[in-house]
Structure 1
């Protein structure tokens, strides 16, 4: 059974255009926050530990977004993350944002695991890779 990482994000004024609707580029910021939360909370590999201490990063290699319905100021968005594909050095992550059961935005983000010093992809740390496997979707 697939485990999904779920976190809630409140739509704040900073996310919105003057009409109180989430400004499209802000979804990208929200989704990166979800990935950062997932690494910190579920994978026990915070961005501070990854980037500052270990000198690795997860550059985005591809992003595909779909905007289904608008989100509004003060909406409480449920962000649900699953891994669609996992290799030794990449992870295809899907995040679906919804509010009160209505799908708002969904994204697929292909991340690579890279050495900042060598500027090339490398293998995920074994413990992180094993934890990620628990989020693989079966579709």
Structure 2
């Protein structure tokens, strides 16, 4: 899998993300991860979630493994990096790392599956997306 599709984006830790101690409440990280994936689809793959859904397709998360390395605090800017790790016929595994300055805060392995929203059945990734993610496999 080629790492030339490294994608980064930033998220500011807002009050809405924090627990009473002023640190990110762990489920809010999952919302941030989903936003990073959605941004990657729109900005890197040129395929927004709105376009996917209107065409009757979706990309639900089927596996999410997460390690929390250090707390993130209100007002910090987190840098999220996303790198495709494995591309199957219908599945895609991504690694997402969140850092603040040089400190790693979170590492996640996210597996998505492209599905037909009407049937819930898996679909093969379209050639343009497959070509972008892994140009040496098509």
Tell whether the structures are fold-level matches, with TM greater than 0.5: yes
Checking the alignment, whether the CA contact within 8 Å between 2:85 and 2:94 is kept in structure 1 is yes
Q: How many residue pairs get matched?
A: 133
User: CA shift at 1:119, angstroms?
Assistant: 1.2
Q: Distance in 2 between matches of 1:83 and 1:2?
A: 7
Checking the alignment, whether the CA contact within 8 Å between 2:93 and 2:109 is kept in structure 1 is yes
The residue number in structure 2 matching 1:31 is 33
- For normalisation by structure 2, the TM-score amounts to 0.93
Q: Distance in 2 between matches of 1:132 and 1:46?
A: 15
- Unaligned runs of at least 5 residues, structure 1: 135-139
For residue 117 of structure 1, give the secondary structure of its aligned residue in structure 2. coil
Q: Which runs of 4+ in 1 moved over 2 A?
A: none
15, 22, 40: which one pairs with 2:17? 15
The residue number in structure 1 matching 2:117 is 116
For residue 110 of structure 2, give the secondary structure of its aligned residue in structure 1. strand
User: CA shift at 1:20, angstroms?
Assistant: 1.1
For residue 120 of structure 1, give the secondary structure of its aligned residue in structure 2. coil
